[in-house]
Structure formats: structure tokens, C-alpha cells
Amino acid sequence: MKWVTSVSEHRFLKYAVAECATEIREALGEQSPDLAVVFVSAHHAARYEELPSLVRELIGECVLVGCSGGGVIGAGREVENRPGFSIAVAVLPETTVAAFHIENSDLPDGDAPPHLWEDMLGVTVQDDPQFLLLSDPFSVQGEHLLMGLDYAFPKSAKIGGLASGGQQPGANALYFGEEVHRSGAVGVALHGNVAVDTIVAQGCRPIGGRMQITGSDRNMLMELDGRSTFDVLRELFAGMSERDQQLAQHSLFLGVVMDEFNDEPKLGDFLIRNIIGLDAKRGALAVGEYLKEGQIVQFHLRDAETSSQDLNDMLNQYTSDGVQTSGNGALLFQCLGRGEYLYGRPDHDTDMFRDKVGDIPLAGFFCNGEIGQVSGSTYLHGYTSSFGIFRPKA
């Protein structure tokens, strides 16, 4: 297995692709790629339709998927607020690469049997596929798609992001071979001698203690440990430092332990969700997730320092887990709200990845939402960096 990535900031797309293609051909030598994943910034929107033929002409025949992005990542660099084109190519021996494009209307119903999901994607659970997903945020029910994939392929890794760069339906681009789509989702299912390790850094730190939900109504958090949510929050706020009190006014989140059998949640076990409103009359908070009584939750805060530390901790946890085979390539799906906007400097997450995991070829883009797994289930995240690390099976 071999991965090569390249990025260009040339303001003309055909020259950007040519620059990357030269680097890739030199790195591959006589080898031919099986997969190409491309990301292109909105600065090149007028040339979106030309991209597949440019890549085919310069890279050669292989499975091609990709999408538009508010920024792109390649060769260990993050390109934001300026023209960018990024490409990752992979030589994948003993691996089948099955690409797909689906529309929202193709998704099976919520109670559909698993084989309908298999039929839609052209792979079976026995294939043990690993999924890369790139979806349009305006036209696909992302949560329904991810829940269905988890149901049909419970042991498969799923990684990816929502296309960005466009501000309205039809403004994003999705690439599937020679085709350019303005809606739906594209992706690949990889099966054979390939494994995908996932890392999801949600950028938060816990505050206060863990509590059990004792009262909820859909996404409304009514009671914690038998007390009004407002009462708990007032007590928590009073015990915070002045800095945290200021932070809590605009960057307070709820972490939810999604594994009901996990009595001792650790780093990475909380699904971080926005607090989207409040009901003062009932003393309740509205949270961006359906809640159930009995779930363990903990409030969290987010800022640049916290996000950096969380990524550091998640990468350290990955490297200490003792993966038997080191990664050959990686894809990074990073929120538009991270990068220079959050850290005040470029390349923060890619630099830390290189320092902690190694100089693995890395590509990706800045997303409208990030796809990644928490406690074995797949979710759509925000403000997150979601990594997929590709390697041969151990």
C-alpha cells in the first residue's frame, strides 16, 4: 500500500492539477494508483466541471471521488482563504475499491432490512468494507445515512465530511468518476487488505462532574441527578473561574455518553453536542441531540487552547494503543471553524498530526460537518477534526 498527497495554490485550476500531478507521478514511479481523492476550493467554482478530465489526463485511470471545500489540505499543509487544490492517490494491492453516488431518495427507510443498504452501495457486510463518505449538506439527510450504515455495517469504519464552499443548494460539487454532481453523496467502500483507524477530536474539555439524566423530553434536558437543569448549571457556573465563566456564555456544550454500558467514560467517549436554546419556564436546556433518561452526561467548554490540548490527547491515545501496522496514508476532515479562524495560525492540526503520528501522507478539506465515530457509532460533528488513517490489515 502506498499513498501520495499533493496540494497547489495556483490560481488557475489546470495548472494547479498539473503541479500536483507532476509530484505524484514522480513519487509513484512505475506504480499506477487505484484511487484518487480530490478536494477543490470554492475559488475554482467556475471550473468545477473541468476537474475530472484534468485529473484523468494527468494521473491516469483510477477510481475518482472528491468534493468542493471551503479550504483544502494536502502534503501536510492547510490552505485557507485562497485558491487551493488537493489530491491524495493510493496504490491499494489486494483491495477492492467500490465507488458510489447516492441521492437522498435512494436511502432505504428507517426500518428497511440491511440487505437494501448493501444493494444500494454494492458491498456486503461479509466484505468487511471501510467507508469514505463525502456528502452535500443541503440535499442529504446525513444522520439517517449514518444510522443506516451503522445498522447494515456495524463493524465498518466510516469517515468523511460534508462538502463546503457553497452557500446554497447546488453550489457544492461532488465528484464520482467523470461525473460532477450538485447533490447527494459520493464515496468509496474499500475491502480486502485494508484497515482504517479513526480519530475524532471534538475540541472540548469537561467541567464539573458526570451526572445522570433523570428527566428529558426529546432533546430537552429537564433534570440531572433529580435536580432542575438550571439549578445544576447555576451551581456549576458559580464554581467556575472568571475565564471559564466568560467562555461558558458562548462556548458551553453537553457531552453525552452514547454507550449505555460504559460506566467509566474516558477521553473520546463523550459525544459533544451544542446547547441550542433554553426554556426558563421549565428550567430546561435544548440540546442538539435526542436524550434519554439514564444517560450519563457532563458539561464541556471549548476554545483554542482546549481544542489544541484535546487533539494532542487524542493523538497520544492513538499512538499509545499499539497499532500493529503504521499508517500509509491519512485523510483529515476539519471543521471550517477550526484552522486559522480558531488558532490564529495555519497548519495547527496537520503539524500536530505529523509530530504525534509521523510524516504520513495527509490530505483533506475544511468541512460543513465532520463524519466520525464515537464509542463505535458514527455521528455528524461540528468544530471537529476527524482523521482516517489507512493501513494494511495487521
Host domain of residue 243: 205-301
Of 251, 275, 301, the last residue of a domain is 301
Question: Which residues, other chains included, contact 46 with Cβ-Cβ below 8 Å and sequence gap of 6+?
Answer: none
Burial class (CB within 10 angstroms; exposed 0-12, middle 13-18, buried 19+) of 305: exposed
Question: pLDDT digits over 271-280, tens only?
Answer: 999 999 988 8
pLDDT at 181: 98
Q: Are residues 261 and 323 in the same domain?
A: no
Q: Are residues 256 and 329 in the same domain?
A: no
In angstroms, the CA 364 to CA 343 distance is 18
Q: How many helices (H) and strands (E) does the chain have?
A: 9, 26
> If we measure between CA atoms, which residue out of 163, 162, 161, 166 comes closest to residue 42?
166
Q: Are residues 230 and 186 in the same domain?
A: no
Q: Are residues 191 and 214 in the same domain?
A: no
Coil, helix or strand at residue 290 = coil
In angstroms, the CA 74 to CA 56 distance is 19
Question: pLDDT digits over 271-304, tens only?
Answer: 999 999 988 888 899 999 999 999 999 999 999 9
pLDDT at 326: 79
Count the domains in the chain: 2
Q: Are residues 286 and 328 in the same domain?
A: no
Confidence band, pLDDT 50/70/90 cuts, at residue 264: confident
pLDDT at 227: 95
Compute φ and ψ for 391, nearest 5 degrees.
-155, 160
Coil, helix or strand at residue 123 = coil
Q: Are residues 362 and 259 in the same domain?
A: no
Q: Are residues 55 and 98 in the same domain?
A: yes
Of 301, 321, 354, the last residue of a domain is 301
Residue with cell 496540494: 7
Decide if pLDDT at 344 tops 90: yes
pLDDT at 295: 95
For the ranges 97-106, 142-151, 173-182, 256-265, which has the lowest average pLDDT? 256-265
CA angle 185, 24, 69 (to 5 degrees): 30
DSSP states along 161-185? EE--S-SSTT-S-EEETTEEESSSE
Q: Are residues 152 and 80 in the same domain?
A: yes
Burial class (CB within 10 angstroms; exposed 0-12, middle 13-18, buried 19+) of 26: exposed
CB 7 within 8 A of CB 72: yes
Question: Which residues, other chains included, contact 29 with Cβ-Cβ below 8 Å and sequence gap of 6+?
Answer: none
Neighbours of 56 (CB within 10 A): 15
In angstroms, the CA 98 to CA 176 distance is 11
Q: Are residues 295 and 331 in the same domain?
A: no
Mean pLDDT across the chain, nearest whole number?
95
Decide if pLDDT at 394 tops 90: no
**Which amino acid, 37?**
V
Edge-to-edge strand order for the sheet containing 185-192?
Answer: 95-102, 185-192, 130-135, 158-162, 370-374, 377-381
Q: Are residues 26 and 145 in the same domain?
A: yes
Q: Are residues 222 and 288 in the same domain?
A: yes
Of 251, 281, 301, the last residue of a domain is 301
CB 1 within 8 A of CB 92: yes
Question: pLDDT digits over 201-259, tens only?
Answer: 999 999 999 999 999 999 999 999 999 999 999 999 999 999 999 999 999 999 999 88
Decide if pLDDT at 173 tops 80: yes
> If we measure between CA atoms, which residue out of 201, 207, 110, 107 comes closest to residue 151?
110
Tell me 23's DSSP state: H
Residue with cell 475540541: 203
Confidence band, pLDDT 50/70/90 cuts, at residue 324: low
Q: Are residues 152 and 244 in the same domain?
A: no
pTM summary value: 0.94
